[in-house]
Chain A
């Protein structure tokens, strides 16, 4: 599973804001930290806002803050806002050659493992992993 830029930006934003749930982050602040376009990130944040994962705070010093449940929200919940994770190459399986079917089976195996990993890691677990790595 190769994640698109939007997905990575969304994960950066969710993890960054979930680190300090009460704090407001501007798109520019997150964009600067990760070296990405603030304009591009603003679009991603709007999608996250519509999904209820962040909420926008208006006014001076406004921005976005985390509004999801870090223990319940998984990496997959964020990823599938931006990726079609259910897209499967099985659609025309009957018309494929043996080589294509064989490769599709192996690629589907990789996909299943990727999905299981993303589904099993909550934002809270991810934050603990980040903290452990920072302590090393």
Chain B
């Protein structure tokens, strides 16, 4: 079943949504993360901290996608800004504007927190999501992610 962006309602995650959220993540990443999503909901989805967001897109009682993020102060030396940690939409319902709705919703939440900048980070070979963020107007940030193999 397909869902258009207009038929979708973006709302805060509820405990009952977690199985569907985990299923969407599993379908996309092919990695099962038992316990992870419950922990994420505890940290981001309870609404106890206003600067944390865990939103889902629901259409006809089914979760079609989700977005998670947070307003952070001085993370990586950056003044207060919103960070999007994860955004996913069921592969079968993509290209219907659901990802854009989710991103708009979390950005609206960031704005309510007084934030004027949103950032994210993702693998540079993740062309699909990179293209999505680019299509939303995002540009390269003035940061370079670095890593080191620890032996």
Contact = CB atoms under 8 A, between A and B. Distances in A.
A125 interface: yes
Nearest to B132: A120
Interface residues of B, number: 10
A119 B135 contact: no
Interface size class of A (residues with CB under 8 A): 10 to 19
Contact of A119 (B127, B137, B140): B127
Contact of A129 (B125, B130, B133, B137): B137
Given A124-B135, A128-B137, 11 more contacts: A113-B124, A116-B127, A116-B130, A117-B140, A119-B130, A120-B131, A121-B131, A122-B134, A125-B131, A129-B137, A132-B137
Interface of A: 74, 112-113, 116-117, 119-122, 124-125, 128-129, 132
29 contacts: A74-B131, A112-B124, A113-B124, A116-B124, A116-B125, A116-B127, A116-B130, A117-B140, A119-B127, A119-B130, A119-B131, A120-B127, A120-B130, A120-B131, A120-B133, A120-B134, A121-B131, A121-B134, A122-B131, A122-B134, A122-B135, A124-B135, A125-B131, A125-B134, A125-B135, A128-B135, A128-B137, A129-B137, A132-B137
